[in-house]
Amino acid sequence: MLAADEQLEILMRGVERVVPEPELAALLAKGKPLRVKLGLDPTAHEVHLGWAVVIGLLRRFQDLGHTAVLIVGDFTAQVGDPSGKSETRQRLDAEAVREYADSVLDDVKELLSPDNLEIRYNSEWLFELNMPDVLDLASKVTLAQMMERADFSKRFEDNEPISLTEFMYPLLQGMDSVAVEADIELGGADQLWNLLMGRDLQAKSGQPGQVAMTTGLLVGTDGTRKMSQSYDNFISVKDSADEMFGKVMSLPDDAMSQYFVLTTDVPLSEVQQIEAGLGSGDLHPGEIKRRLGREVATRYWGSEAAQAAEEAFDRLFKDHQAPSEVAECALPEGDPVWMPGALRDAGLVKSGSDGKRLVAQGAVKIDGESITEEDVARSALMGKVVQVGKRRFVRFT
């Protein structure tokens, strides 16, 4: 196992806070495998690059010989994490959570090593709590402690409701750390308060308190809010190389530096040179963004796919041509064809209502010509390339 200072150099990329910082070096200096916990509540269908930031940190711990303890929050996802929320979030039922967990777990596993990976579901211990257990847990924290949390205090000042269930969430997450005896817990920057609650509960349970490590929150493709499927500003690890490259090219210039640090393996010294070159004007933002797009696509799909994605991007946006390879889809029965439904069935839109909206906006084209009518003659679609937005294509057959 590498020396503590060598491990720290590898681990600290993209990390915003370590609390308490001296304890991390002390743990690493012991020279033995640590239990590094990451909890993920399955509340969406896909793993996006924002999630991949902290998952990538967990993988770096694995590569250094430590044990990754992945907590699937199948119980806590039904409660709802209030972190960063200005109102009570809608609770999910058990069936929805199971569907989300089935959808994302395989993707998460692909980002981690199977050799030193422990996967636990927190329903294993949280479903077993009885009322005396819950009361005992609630007695370990005071209302004053809860109101130290910024989002709770802000909502209280604004007379926004805060449910007692939301107060329970950080306690339940903290119980996860007690259950798996975590040495370190990872999370996004908005999770620090929850992570420290876990440390506090461990101490009150007679365990050494975990070290909290938080990573920066990756900004979404809108360049303003954190990446989230709720905001539809995300890049999925399931996206094709073409989609990844194209979405990166849509980023605002001022987001590039964060993306280089959090989503690529470009050495930090080189990232600093890029930042300096952009600041002085010696480097062109468009060329640097192309480099970023290639780096992101290469990480998930390989260099050949990344190069092909760049060529496809140029074909579409510089030469204004359809991609050289377009997926084919059978037209639904009937004449005329209801376009919103055909787009939905082809996987170009999420729903018929989504398709109706895009048709009305003129965002749907047939062989390069915009349409605004929902009903289209079958003969006008057969064998034609249909485009939705900038990067979604299908040929109807």
**pLDDT value of position 380:** 83
Domains: count for the chain: 3
SS (H, E, C) 311-330: HHHHHHHCCCCCCCCCCEEC
* Dist CA 157 CA 271 (whole Å): 41
Q: 3-state class of 48 per DSSP?
A: strand
**pLDDT value of position 318:** 65
Strands in the chain per DSSP E: 15-19, 35-40, 67-72, 117-121, 184-188, 211-215, 328-329, 337-338, 364-366, 369-371, 375-376, 385-388, 392-396
What is the CATH classification number for the domain harbouring 246?
1.10.240.10
The residue segments making up the domain with residue 375 are: 328-396
Decide which of 317, 349, 381 is a domain's last residue. 317
Instruction: Write the CB contacts of 380 (distance below 8 Å, at least 6 apart in sequence).
Output: 366
- Does one domain contain both 43 and 167? yes
What six digits make up the tokens of 100?
Answer: 């989300």
For residue 336, say if its preceding peptide bond is cis, omega within 30 degrees of 0. Answer: yes
What six digits make up the tokens of 288?
Answer: 């640097």
**pLDDT value of position 307:** 95
- Does one domain contain both 194 and 251? no
pLDDT tops 90 at residue 195:
yes
pLDDT tops 70 at residue 89:
no
With vertex at residue 213, the alpha carbon angle to CA 142 and CA 161, rounded to the nearest 5 degrees, is: 40
* Dist CA 259 CA 239 (whole Å): 17
Q: 3-state class of 252 per DSSP?
A: coil
Amino acid at 142: T
Instruction: Band the pLDDT of 145: cuts 50, 70, 90.
Output: confident
**pLDDT value of position 381:** 84
**pLDDT value of position 62:** 98
Amino acid at 147: M
What six digits make up the tokens of 155?
Answer: 């909502």
**pLDDT value of position 323:** 63
**pLDDT value of position 5:** 95
* Dist CA 106 CA 17 (whole Å): 29
**pLDDT value of position 86:** 47
- What average pLDDT does this structure show over 86-97? 69
Decide which of 266, 284, 317 is a domain's last residue. 317
Instruction: Band the pLDDT of 325: cuts 50, 70, 90.
Output: low
Higher pLDDT, 323 or 333: 333
- What average pLDDT does this structure show over 169-190? 96
Longest dimension (CA), the chain: 74
What is the CATH classification number for the domain harbouring 53?
3.40.50.620
pLDDT tops 70 at residue 11:
yes
Higher pLDDT, 93 or 198: 198
* Dist CA 329 CA 348 (whole Å): 11
- Does one domain contain both 260 and 140? no
Q: What is the mean pLDDT of the chain?
A: 90
- The answer to the question of residue 221 being in a domain is no
pLDDT tops 60 at residue 133:
yes
pLDDT tops 50 at residue 10:
yes
User: In the sheet where 184-188 sits, what is the strand order?
Assistant: 15-19, 211-215, 184-188, 35-40, 67-72, 117-121
* Dist CA 110 CA 65 (whole Å): 18
**pLDDT value of position 111:** 96
Q: Which of 80-94, 182-196, 257-271 has the lowest mean pLDDT?
A: 80-94
- Which tens digits make up the pLDDT trace of 281-315? 999 999 999 999 999 999 999 999 999 999 988 88
Instruction: Band the pLDDT of 85: cuts 50, 70, 90.
Output: low
Higher pLDDT, 198 or 368: 198
- The answer to the question of residue 234 being in a domain is no
**pLDDT value of position 272:** 96
- What average pLDDT does this structure show over 70-81? 90
What is the CATH classification number for the domain harbouring 356?
3.10.290.10
- Residue 133 phi, psi (nearest 5): -60, -45
- Does one domain contain both 69 and 155? yes
**pLDDT value of position 142:** 87
pLDDT tops 60 at residue 317:
yes
- The answer to the question of residue 223 being in a domain is no
Higher pLDDT, 377 or 33: 33
pLDDT tops 70 at residue 324:
no
Please report, rounded to a whole number, the percentage of residues in the chain having pLDDT higher than 90.
Answer: 61
* Dist CA 79 CA 39 (whole Å): 14
Q: 3-state class of 207 per DSSP?
A: coil
Instruction: Write the CB contacts of 13 (distance below 8 Å, at least 6 apart in sequence).
Output: 60, 261, 268
